C-alpha cells in the first residue's frame, strides 16, 4: 500500500498541465484506484482544484461523479479551489453542503470557507461559519482563530475581530497583524497604534514588514509623525527598509504628516530599487503640499529613469496642477495621456473638472462632464457644485444639485453646498427649502473634527467641543486670539454660516470650529516656536483659513493643517496654498 501511495505521489508531481491531469484521471479510473482509494480521489481533486494547472469546472464535475461518498479531504479540496476562484461565494455554498453531508467538516474546511468569506466580503456567512467553528469544537485552534480574525477585519466588522483577538489564549504575530491592519484600514487608527505599542512593549514580539505597514498607515491617517519616526527607527534597525513596500509606506507617512522634504529624503536614499508605486507616492506627496514644480519635475524624471508613468502617475500630476491652478498645464497633461496609450478614467476627468471649476471656468467644467465617454459619477457633480459655491453661480448649482438628486446622492455636503450658494445671495427661503429637504431625507450633517499630536498623544476635537480636560484653557486662549485678531482688522466670514441668525451668533458659531480648538490647544501645550500640526476630516473653511494665517503671524508659529483635499502650511501670515484651495 505504501508503494502505491509513493507511485501516486510521483504521478501527481509530474502533472504540470491540464492534459496531464486528464491522463492521470484516466489512469486512476482504469486501474480502479479512483473507486477503491478515497486518498487517491482526494489528491486528484486537489490537483484539479488548486494546482497551477487547475480547472475548477473539471474539479466540480469529477467530484459529482465520484463512485463513493466523498471524503472530507475531497470536500476540502473543492472548497479550497472554489475559495481561490473568481467566484468565492461558491465555496461558501459547497461548505454548507458539506455541513449537511454524512462526512464532518474539519478545521481545514472551516478555514477554506472563511478565506472565501474574506474574498467575497461575506460578513453574515462569516458569522455562520464562526458559530460552526465553536459548535464543532475548533475554538482553540490558533490558526483557525487567526483566519477568523482576518475575515472580520477585512469585512469591516472590527468589533467582532477585536472580540476574537481578546478571546485568543495564544497569539502569534499573524493574529496581531490582522487586527492592526484591520483597525488601520477601518478608520480606527488610534486603536491600531495602541495595539502596535502593546505588541512591542507588553508582549515582546518583533514586528515584521506587515506589522509596520499597518502601523505606518495609522500614523498617516492621524498625522502622528513622531510615532511614525519611532517606527522608522525600528525599520532601520531591523533592516526592513530593504523592502520597497515598507519604504513606500514611510514616504506616504511623511507626505501625509506634512513633511514632503522628509518624504523626499527617504525617496532619494532608498537602498532598494524604486518601484512605480514609489514614484507615484512621492509625486502625490508633492501634489498634496501644493509643490507643483517638484511634482511635475519628478513626473518628468521617472521617464528618464526608465519608469513609464501609469494612470496613477498622471492622476498625481493632475492633482498638482489642480492645487496650483495651472489650468493649461493640467489640460495638456490630460490630453497627453492618449499619446502614452492610457485611457483617462473618471478620476482623471474629475481632477480636470475640479481644476476648471476652481479656476472659475464653470461652463467649461460642465461641458467636459457632458462630453465624457462614461457616466459621470457623484464626485464630478459635487466638484461642479463646489465651484458654483465658490463663484456664486446659482443656476449651475441648481443643475448640479438636480443631477446629484437623480443619482440618489444623500450626502450632507451636497445640500450644504447648495444651501451655501443660496445663503451667499441671502435667499433664505431657498436655504430653508434645502434644510427642509435634508430633514425629510434624514440627511445628517457630517461633524467636523480635527486631530493634533502633543508629546506622542493624539487629541481629537469636534466643533464646539467642551469634552477635553483642558477646555477651559483652550477657550480662554481663543478669547485672547479673538481680542488680538481685531488689531489686524479681522472680520468674521459670517456669510458661510447657514443659519438665518444674528451676526453675533454667527461669529460664535465660527469661533469654535474644531481646527481652531486644535490650534489653540497646540499654542497652550507646546513651547514657543514649535510647529503645530492639525489633521481635519473636512475642507478647511474660509474663516478658519483667514484666522490661522493671522495666528501664524501673531504667535510666530508655523501651523500645518491637512484637510480632506490638501496641506495648508501657514507661516508669517501666508499660506502655502496661496489662498487657492
pLDDT of 94 > 70? The answer is: yes
For residue 36, CA distances in Å to 78, 167, 394 come to 20, 43, 80
- Strands 559-562 and 532-536 turn out to be parallel
> Last residue of some domain: 425, 446, 467?
446
Q: What is the pLDDT of residue 32?
A: 63
Strand order in the sheet with 457-462: 457-462, 449-454, 532-536, 559-562, 567-571, 574-575
> Torsions phi, psi of 375, nearest 5?
-70, 125
247 and 235 assigned to the same domain: yes
194 and 304 assigned to the same domain: no
68 and 160 assigned to the same domain: yes
Domain around 131: 43-170
Query: Where residue 172 falls among pLDDT bands split at 50, 70, 90?
Result: confident
CA–CA dist 394, 374 (Å, integer): 26
Q: What is the pLDDT of residues 553-571, one digit of tens each?
A: 999 999 999 998 899 999 9
Q: What is the pLDDT of residue 3?
A: 38
C-alpha cell at 105: 467538516
157 and 192 assigned to the same domain: no
459 and 543 assigned to the same domain: yes
Q: What is the mean pLDDT of the chain?
A: 88
Which helix (H) or strand (E) is 571 found in, with range?
strand 567-571
Query: Where residue 57 falls among pLDDT bands split at 50, 70, 90?
Result: confident
Mean pLDDT lowest for which of 310-324, 422-436, 475-489, 567-581? 422-436
354 and 329 assigned to the same domain: no
Q: What is the pLDDT of residue 15?
A: 64
SS3 (DSSP) at 102? coil
CA 258 to chain CA mean position, Å: 18
- What's 412's domain CATH number? 1.25.40
Q: What is the pLDDT of residue 21?
A: 66
Residue 423 located in a structural domain: yes
Q: What is the pLDDT of residues 259-284, one digit of tens each?
A: 999 999 999 999 999 999 999 999 99
Q: What is the pLDDT of residues 433-477, one digit of tens each?
A: 888 888 888 877 778 899 999 988 899 999 888 999 999 999 999
Q: What is the pLDDT of residues 521-539, one digit of tens each?
A: 999 999 999 999 999 998 8
476 vs 417, which has greater pLDDT? 476
> Last residue of some domain: 108, 141, 170?
170
pLDDT of 79 > 70? The answer is: yes
CA–CA dist 283, 316 (Å, integer): 6
pTM of the full structure: 0.81
Mean pLDDT lowest for which of 61-75, 390-404, 461-475? 61-75
Enumerate residues 6+ apart whose C-beta is below 8 A from 155: 117, 118, 121, 122, 123, 126
Looking at the 3D structure of the chain, how many domains does it have?
5
- Strands 449-454 and 574-575 turn out to be unpaired
Q: What is the pLDDT of residue 327?
A: 95
Kindly state the DSSP code that residue 532 receives in the 8-state scheme.
E
Average pLDDT over residues 101-123: 92
CB 548: neighbour CB atoms within 10 A? 22
pLDDT of 548 > 60? The answer is: yes
C-alpha cell at 58: 473539471
Q: What is the pLDDT of residue 202?
A: 86
Query: How big is the CA angle at 562 (ends 289 and 235), to the nearest 5 degrees?
Result: 80
94 and 141 assigned to the same domain: yes
161 and 57 assigned to the same domain: yes
CA–CA dist 562, 225 (Å, integer): 13
Residue 119 located in a structural domain: yes
pLDDT of 500 > 80? The answer is: no
Q: What is the pLDDT of residue 414?
A: 84
> Last residue of some domain: 384, 416, 446?
446
118 and 199 assigned to the same domain: no
Query: Where residue 417 falls among pLDDT bands split at 50, 70, 90?
Result: confident
Q: What is the pLDDT of residue 12?
A: 61
Average pLDDT over residues 228-246: 95
pLDDT of 50 > 80? The answer is: no
Residue 14 located in a structural domain: no
pLDDT of 53 > 70? The answer is: no
371 and 439 assigned to the same domain: yes
pLDDT of 64 > 80? The answer is: yes
337 and 351 assigned to the same domain: no
Region of residue 69 (left: phi > 0; alpha: psi -120 to 50; beta: else): beta
CA–CA dist 186, 179 (Å, integer): 10
Q: What is the pLDDT of residues 148-158, one digit of tens each?
A: 999 999 998 99
CA–CA dist 121, 181 (Å, integer): 16
308 and 381 assigned to the same domain: no
pLDDT of 1 > 50? The answer is: no
Query: Where residue 2 falls among pLDDT bands split at 50, 70, 90?
Result: very low
Kindly state the DSSP code that residue 103 receives in the 8-state scheme.
S
Q: What is the pLDDT of residues 286-314, one digit of tens each?
A: 999 999 999 999 999 999 999 999 999 99
pLDDT of 335 > 90? The answer is: yes
pLDDT of 503 > 60? The answer is: no
Amino acid at each position: 500500500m505504501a508503494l502505491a501511495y509513493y507511485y501516486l505521489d510521483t504521478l501527481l508531481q509530474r502533472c504540470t498541465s491540464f492534459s496531464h491531469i486528464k491522463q492521470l484521471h484516466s489512469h486512476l479510473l482504469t486501474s480502479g484506484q479512483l473507486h477503491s482509494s478515497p486518498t487517491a480521489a482526494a489528491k486528484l481533486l486537489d490537483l484539479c482544484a488548486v494546482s497551477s494547472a487547475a480547472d475548477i469546472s473539471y474539479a466540480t464535475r469529477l467530484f459529482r461523479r465520484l463512485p463513493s461518498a466523498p471524503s472530507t479531504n475531497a470536500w476540502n479540496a473543492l472548497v479550497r479551489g472554489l475559495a481561490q476562484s473568481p467566484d468565492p461565494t461558491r465555496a461558501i455554498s459547497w461548505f454548507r453542503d458539506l455541513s449537511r453531508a454524512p462526512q464532518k467538516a474539519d478545521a481545514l474546511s472551516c478555514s477554506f470557507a472563511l478565506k472565501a468569506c474574506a474574498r467575497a466580503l461575506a460578513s453574515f456567512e462569516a458569522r455562520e461559519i464562526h458559530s460552526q467553528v465553536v459548535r464543532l469544537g475548533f475554538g482553540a485552534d490558533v490558526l483557525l482563530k487567526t483566519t477568523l480574525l482576518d475575515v472580520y477585519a477585512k469585512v469591516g466588522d472590527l468589533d467582532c475581530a477585536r472580540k476574537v483577538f481578546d478571546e485568543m489564549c495564544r497569539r502569534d504575530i499573524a493574529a496581531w497583524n490582522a487586527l492592526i491592519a484591520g483597525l488601520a484600514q477601518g478608520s480606527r487608527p488610534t486603536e491600531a497604534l495602541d495595539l502596535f505599542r502593546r505588541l512591542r512593549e507588553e508582549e515582546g514580539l518583533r514586528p515584521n514588514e506587515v506589522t509596520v505597514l499597518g502601523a505606518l498607515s495609522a500614523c498617516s491617517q492621524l498625522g502622528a509623525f513622531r510615532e511614525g519616526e519611532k517606527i522608522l527607527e525600528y525599520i532601520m534597525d531591523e533592516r526592513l527598509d530593504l523592502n520597497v513596500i515598507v519604504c513606500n509606506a514611510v514616504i506616504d507617512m511623511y507626505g501625509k504628516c506634512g513633511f514632503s522634504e522628509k518624504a523626499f529624503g527617504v525617496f532619494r536614499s532608498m537602498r532598494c530599487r524604486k518601484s512605480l508605486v514609489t514614484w507615484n507616492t512621492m509625486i502625490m506627496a508633492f501634489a498634496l503640499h501644493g509643490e507643483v514644480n517638484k511634482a511635475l519635475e519628478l513626473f518628468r524624471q521617472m521617464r528618464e529613469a526608465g519608469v513609464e508613468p501609469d494612470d496613477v502617475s498622471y492622476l498625481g500630476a493632475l492633482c498638482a496642477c489642480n492645487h496650483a491652478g495651472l489650468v493649461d498645464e493640467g489640460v495638456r497633461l490630460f490630453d497627453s495621456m492618449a499619446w502614452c496609450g492610457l485611457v483617462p478614467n473618471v478620476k482623471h476627468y474629475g481632477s480636470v473638472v475640479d481644476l476648471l471649476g476652481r479656476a472659475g471656468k464653470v461652463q467649461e467644467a460642465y461641458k467636459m462632464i457632458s462630453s465624457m465617454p462614461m457616466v459621470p459619477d457623484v464626485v464630478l457633480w459635487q466638484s461642479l457644485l463646489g465651484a458654483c459655491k465658490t463663484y456664486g453661480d446659482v443656476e449651475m448649482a441648481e443643475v448640479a444639485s438636480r443631477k446629484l438628486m437623480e443619482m440618489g446622492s444623500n450626502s450632507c455636503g451636497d445640500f450644504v453646498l447648495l444651501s451655501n450658494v443660496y445663503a451667499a445671495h441671502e435667499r433664505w427661503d431657498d436655504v430653508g427649502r434645502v434644510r427642509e429637504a435634508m430633514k425629510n431625507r434624514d440627511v445628517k450633517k457630517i461633524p467636523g473634527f480635527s486631530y493634533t499630536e502633543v508629546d506622542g498623544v493624539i487629541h481629537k476635537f469636534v466643533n464646539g467641543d467642551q469634552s477635553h480636560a483642558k477646555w477651559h484653557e483652550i477657550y480662554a486662549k481663543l478669547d485672547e486670539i479673538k481680542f488680538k485678531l481685531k488689531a489686524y482688522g479681522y472680520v468674521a466670514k459670517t456669510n458661510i454660516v447657514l443659519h438665518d441668525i444674528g451676526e453675533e451668533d454667527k461669529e460664535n458659531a465660527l469661533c469654535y470650529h474644531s481646527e481652531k480648538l486644535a490650534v489653540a490647544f497646540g499654542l497652550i501645550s507646546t513651547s514657543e516656536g514649535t510647529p503645530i500640526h492639525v489633521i481635519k476630516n473636512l475642507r478647511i473653511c474660509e474663516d478658519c483659513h483667514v484666522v490661522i494665517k493671522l495666528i501664524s503671524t501673531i504667535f510666530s508659529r508655523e501651523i500645518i493643517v491637512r484637510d480632506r483635499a490638501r496641506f495648508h502650511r501657514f507661516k508669517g501670515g501666508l499660506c502655502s496654498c496661496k489662498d487657492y484651495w
